[in-house]
Amino acid sequence: MKKILIVTGGSGGHVIPSLGIYDALKDDFEVNISTDLRGSKFINDKNYHYSLIDVPNLFSNFLLLPYNLIKFCISIIKSYKYLKFNNFNIIISTGGYMSLPLSLASNFLNIKIYIFEPNFVLGRANKLMLNFAKKIICYEKNLKGISKKLTNKIYLVKPLLRKEIYKYQKNEKTTIAEKKKILIIGGSQGAKFFDEFITKIIIKLSKIEKIQVLQQVINQNSKENIKEFYQKNHIEHELFHFDDKLLMQAINYDLAITRSGASTISELAYLNIPFVAIPYPYAKDNHQYYNAEFYEKNKSCWLIMQKDIDENNFTDLMVKILQDQNEYFSKKNNLIKLNKENTWEKNKSKLIELINEN
């Protein structure tokens, strides 16, 4: 039986799809996960066994670059020993700097490497490893950042979701009720903007529309402040920090305001929840913009840049979305079309087929 190591970490956009890969392959192969401390918070250790890796971010502090470079080289040596001792046949890397030591070590050991890219633009670590990889698993044939000579390595799948998401009931609402239900997902990066600015918008919007809010917040202090604001303005609300069961309770929400991390918008799209995407403006390679742009080009979301937002124009946009049901349901129907072929069985079959290639 082939022995596979999935290397992941960092943001939920990398980790969450890796869990889908794990679930798809675990019945046919021996599968393990390796992640970093940041990535571990997205993994339920009751369902997934994983190993923690410690990889320094080389460019987090230029004053520490020599020290981090030594640590990075040590992590490659440790990775080499780990891979050799465990006799892995295949590495599947989801990118990010934490994946590099194991990916480089696997190349030294002639272990077959597959790269997974959840974003619509090729990440830097994946770009570095692409020459050594057998295939790159991704969602778009026109992946940005890949050279033409390497496009033959593209292996297309539909957006990989957590297995449990495929079991959720989709949003089948055909009308928007008088009380508008809004889901707010600030993500792990740039969430402060959502806590401060989007909260103001919700308060302003509540003077025009009757609304109910389910909102992700950055921390407990922010949660208490926002709770006070909403109570004063008589806004029905529920606040949370991180909840991997979030979308189970959000199915009947009318609209999401969200960052555009790959996993977040893929799951919203699959569940037929229309969304307004506000890409995190400091994301590497502007990947959140390109993630959202894919859906905007397919006329299935609203896309607005953070730098272009002010209280008046964003409130006007929200009112227009909630009151113009023709445009709203047009975008919702386009989401349904985009995800018609995305099933657990098809993605599982494609991944197993890839692993069984000679």
Matching CATH topology for 3-161+343-355 and 167-338? Answer: yes
More confident residue, 306 or 16: 306
- At 84 the pLDDT is 93
- pTM of the complete model: 0.90
pLDDT band at 221 (very low <50, low <70, confident <90, very high): confident
- Sign of the CA dihedral running 240, 246, 251, 255: positive
Taking only the tens place, the pLDDT of each residue in 79-108 is 999 999 999 999 999 988 888 999 999 999
Computed over every residue of the chain, the mean pLDDT equals: 90
Angle (deg, nearest 10), helices 12-25 and 262-270? 60
Domain ranges of the chain: 3-161+343-355, 167-338
For residues 118-136, average pLDDT: 93
**Domain 167-338 classification at class level:** alpha beta
- At 49 the pLDDT is 83
For residues 241-248, average pLDDT: 69
- At 229 the pLDDT is 92
pLDDT at 183 exceeding the cut of 80: yes
The 3-state secondary structure of the chain, one letter per residue: CCEEEEECCCCHHHHHHHHHHHHHHCCCCEEEEEECHHHHCCCCCCCCCEEECCCCCCCCCHHHHHHHHHHHHHHHHHHHHHHHHHCCCEEEECCCHHHHHHHHHHHHCCCEEEEECCCCECCHHHHHHCCCCCEEEECCCCCECCCHHHHHHEEECCCCCCHHHHHCCCCCCCCCCCEEEEEEECCCCCHHHHHHHHHHHHHHHCCCCEEEEEEECCCHHHHHHHHHHHHHCCCEEEEECCCCCHHHHHCCCCEEEECCCHHHHHHHHHCCCCEEECCCCCCHHHHHHHHHHHHHHCCCCEECCHHHCCHHHHHHHHHHHHHCHHHHHHHHHHHHHHCCCCCHHHHHHHHHHHHCCC
For residues 119-133, average pLDDT: 92
For residues 229-234, average pLDDT: 93
Nearest alpha-carbon partner for 127 in 117, 118, 113, 141: 117
pLDDT at 2 exceeding the cut of 80: yes
pLDDT band at 57 (very low <50, low <70, confident <90, very high): confident
pLDDT at 242 exceeding the cut of 70: no
pLDDT at 240 exceeding the cut of 90: no
The CATH number fitting domain 3-161+343-355, selected from 2.160.20.60, 3.40.1360.10, 3.90.1150.10, 3.40.50.2000? 3.40.50.2000
For residues 165-182, average pLDDT: 90
